[in-house]
């Protein structure tokens, strides 16, 4: 996945970027780095500082929290979203359960990009509003 357009096509499949126009995604594609990890390698561990957003292209990862295995993800998936946006520590540990391909976005580069691109921010806002809506719906169901 070397070219911008291929990365744009991939980014379109990530829910976080679903409401962002493809031309804007090309800007994001411009700040992504491609890398791979082998099976059992750790992407990040709980408590680490969040510097990057990871986008799983191919492969499977395991999510563990407090030593307990929580969930398994296949690509395409965005990993480490909350820490990326709120600059907090990682809440989970993610380990590759197969050979994986990733794209990595640096926090500073991303926010620099956001600074003067309203359409990009608008697309992200839509994503977060959708998430909050979902959470409200879930909590309503629980209540």
Q: How many residues bind other proteins (CB under 8 A)?
A: 14
The two tokens of residue 134 are 């979902």
108 binds other proteins (CB under 8 A): no
94-to-1, 29, 35, 58, 102 alpha-carbon distances in Å: 23, 23, 16, 15, 13
Site map for other proteins, 16-55, x if CB under 8 A? Answer: -----xxx--x-----------------------------
**Selected range binding other proteins among 4-12, 34-42, 48-56, 58-66, rule: CB under 8 A:** 4-12
Comparing CB distances to other proteins, the nearer of 25 and 61 is 25
134-to-18, 108, 129 alpha-carbon distances in Å: 16, 29, 9
The two tokens of residue 51 are 């510097």
Which residue ranges make up the site for other proteins (CB under 8 A)? 2-6, 8-9, 12, 21-23, 26, 115-116
């Amino acid at each position: 996945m070397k070219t911008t357009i291929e990365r744009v096509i991939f980014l379109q499949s990530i829910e976080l970027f679903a409401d962002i126009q493809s031309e804007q995604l090309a800007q994001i594609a411009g700040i992504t780095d491609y890398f791979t990890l082998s099976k059992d390698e750790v992407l990040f561990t709980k408590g680490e500082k969040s510097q990057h957003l990871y986008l799983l292209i191919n492969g499977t990862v395991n999510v563990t929290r407090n030593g307990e295995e929580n969930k398994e993800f296949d690509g395409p998936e965005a990993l480490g979203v909350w820490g990326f946006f709120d600059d907090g520590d990682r809440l989970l540990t993610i380990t590759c359960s197969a050979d994986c391909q990733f794209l990595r976005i640096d926090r500073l580069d991303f926010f620099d990009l956001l600074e003067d691109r309203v359409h990009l921010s608008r697309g992200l806002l839509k994503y977060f509003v959708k998430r909050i809506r979902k959470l409200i719906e879930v909590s309503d169901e629980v209540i």
